Amino acid sequence: MLDDRDQKLLLLLQRDASLPVSALAEKVALSVSACSRRIQRLEEEGYIERRIAVLNRGRMGVPTTLFALIKTAHHADGWIEQFKKVIADIPEIVEAHRLTGTYDYILKLVLPSVEHYDVIYKQIVRRIELFDVSASISMERMKEGLELPAGYAR
């Protein structure tokens, strides 16, 4: 069970995992060693999967976001596994979700330009059969982040 300090530590680490343990300890009113032990416990218990650096998309040359909505006529396990392998090999696809409703999958792509979508589209359809693909270009990122709410943690 997580207490308020654990939840605050998780929020702080999500915002900036590079904060020194001494700064985190001060913010949650713990000694440095107690704070360090809590962080280690949170990692061991699987609350913290990894610590990453979030890169600037403009500086990385991929400022364009595009969402591809996919329909397929195939729903067998073998097709799904092949689809997972196809999209895993394409670094521009940063998220993929299986959906309920009209479309079967949605892919989030980060691209250097809208025109580059055709390159990715061809990479996919050369390797796997799709029924329908519809793409939408994001005009503005209104909210983006990796930060999860900590209040639901068990």
Does the 58-137 domain belong in CATH 3.30.70.920? yes
Angle between helix 77-88 and 117-127 (nearest 10)? 140
Interval 32-46 mean pLDDT: 97
* % of the chain surpassing 70 pLDDT: 100
Q: Do 4-44 and 58-137 come out as alike in CATH topology? A: no
What pLDDT score was predicted for residue 154? 79
**Residue 145: pLDDT band with limits 50, 70, 90:** confident
pLDDT of 153 higher than 90:
no
Q: How far apart are CA 107 and CA 63, in angstroms?
A: 16
Q: For residue 55, what are its two tokens?
A: 């890169």
* Span of 70-74, 93-97, 107-111, 147-151 with lowest mean pLDDT: 147-151
For tokens 């990715």, the residue is 120
Q: How far apart are CA 128 and CA 70, in angstroms?
A: 12
Does the 4-44 domain belong in CATH 1.10.10.10? yes
Q: If you average pLDDT over every residue of the chain, what do you get? A: 96
Q: pLDDT digits over 53-105, tens only?
A: 999 999 999 999 999 999 999 999 999 999 999 999 999 999 999 999 999 99
pLDDT of 47 higher than 90:
yes
* Segments making up each domain of the chain, as ranges: 4-44, 58-137
Q: How far apart are CA 85 and CA 110, in angstroms?
A: 18
What pLDDT score was predicted for residue 27? 97
Q: What is the maximal distance between C-alpha atoms in the chain?
A: 58
Are 153 and 10 within 8 A, CB to CB?
A: yes
What pLDDT score was predicted for residue 89? 95
pTM: 0.88
Q: For residue 88, what are its two tokens?
A: 């895993």
Nearest of 92, 105, 101 to residue 62 by alpha carbon:
92
Q: How far apart are CA 35 and CA 24, in angstroms?
A: 7
